[in-house]
Amino acid sequence: MTTTSGPLLITGATLADGTRTDLYLAEGRLADPASAPAGVERLDADGLLALPGLVDPHTHLRQPGREDAETVASGTAAAARGGFTCVHAMANTTPVTDTAEAAEYVAALGEREGHCEVRVVGAVTKGLDGEELAELGMMADSAAGVRLFSDDGRCVGDSLLMRRALTYVKAFDGVIAQHSQDVSLAGPGACCHESEWSGRLGLPGWPSQAESIIIARDVQLAELTGSRIHVCHVSTAEGVDVIRWAKARGIRVTAEVTPHHLLLDTSLVAGYDTTFKVNPPLRTSEHLEAVREALADGTIDMVGTDHAPHARQDKDHPFDVALPGMLGLEQALAVVMEVMVGTGRMDWPTLVERMSTAPARLGQVPGQGRPLAAGGPANLVLVDPAARATVDASASRSRSRNNPYDGRDLPDPVVATFWKGRRTYAR
């Protein structure tokens, strides 16, 4: 559901590799600019970068069940504002996306109301209860064509169940995406990183090992089953080390990091502002350095926003009681530019790989993450690499306001987003 636009000739854009080019958008695809008729609508992109539309492997859209916090329409509008042309909708909705019918329902909502492509992530276990496998095969065979499964928000704790899930999805080249948190070590009460800060603030913390212990188990189960594992929102140096070890062994593992774990550290919880309560928690600077380095060298394959909108009444509580999660779609590119590109750790082609190509490959989304060449789908974002602005949470397209970057000076890169040739966002 997005404004239809006619053919458009974008002139003088710069691609990620530095080449200057014109781009002709017609009938949802990129066509030869020489074929553009005289008098066609033009957009001068001098000084702007044209990148393939961003793909988020990890988005909470909250519909069905919590439309007060976010809907497919509002969440994908925020995605378009952030330069995304595809998001993967996580399964922890009400009801949970654990059947073919539920998956088809979310897919149809995406078709009807999405401002970008909505791919459905199915639950691994029924009701996310960690006890019995969900309808994995039927979700895969459904019209939603689910390939990615996750109990995100919860960790599949039982090793045998995890082994069965990995074995099951291997038959159709599916992937289990794990929220890695050993709840026997980091109980449900744990609400920040276990460090000097948690002690001082009197908040129950969870150690980084509660993440890396599960990653270590899961990569070994992936090796045992010959299946594929994806590690959600890696936040620790220990987690990175395990993934590096697994990759060196040839284990089929991919991993994502969130924008907030690249930029924000645990000292932000000192004011007990529940905007900064998130799972996994914000960590210390050594961990931030480790995930930055891993994203640069490819140990971490991609960025996943973990966009987690929450209504005010779920955040207006004491820190240990408030729901965890923060917004991420609208500032994701800005944060990656600030932390990775602006500091010289990453070039633009690598950013495209981490924010578009790799997540499209993970989700097996054929029309996304493709180079901007004639014949390909017209999914792209125009980026002003020099623009900056102060983030204003109240200006968000999301229904929620738990934006951890509110008031921060950051790049403000997204000039326009096009999905299937239609403008889904314009500044």
Where along the sequence are the contacts to Zn ion (CB under 5 A)? 152, 179
Which is it for strands 49-52 and 380-383: parallel, antiparallel or unpaired?
antiparallel
Q: Is 44 a catalytic residue?
A: no
Q: Is the CB of 85 or the CB of 92 nearer to ligand NCD?
A: 92
Tell the smallest beta-carbon distance from residue 258 to ligand NCD (Å). 8
CA-wise closest residue to 254 among 325, 371, 360, 348: 360
Q: At 16, give phi and psi (nearest 5°).
A: -55, -35
- CA quadruple 238, 181, 146, 175: dihedral positive or negative? positive
Residue of 56, 306, 314, 412 marked catalytic: 306
Which one of Zn ion, ligand NCD, none interacts with residue 308, CB within 5 to 8 A by kind? ligand NCD
Tell the smallest beta-carbon distance from residue 92 to Zn ion (Å). 9
Binding site for ligand NCD (CB under 6 A): 60, 92, 152-153, 179, 278-279, 306, 308, 324-325
Q: Is the CB of 166 or the CB of 177 nearer to Zn ion?
A: 177
Query: How far is residue 10's CA from residue 45's CA, in Å, rounded to a whole number?
Result: 6
Q: Is the CB of 179 or the CB of 420 nearer to Zn ion?
A: 179
Q: Which residue is nearest to Zn ion (CB)?
A: 179
Tell me how far CA of residue 273 lies from CA of 175, 396, 401, in angstroms: 35, 19, 13
Tell the smallest beta-carbon distance from residue 280 to Zn ion (Å). 7
> Concatenated DSSP letters for 252-277?
-EEEEE-HHHHH--GGGGGG--GGG-
Tell the smallest beta-carbon distance from residue 175 to ligand NCD (Å). 16
Tell the smallest beta-carbon distance from residue 309 to ligand NCD (Å). 8
Bond preceding residue 64 cis, omega within 30 of 0: yes
Radius of gyration of the chain from its Cα atoms, rounded to whole angstroms: 21
Length of the chain: 427
User: Annotated catalytic sites, by residue?
Assistant: 306
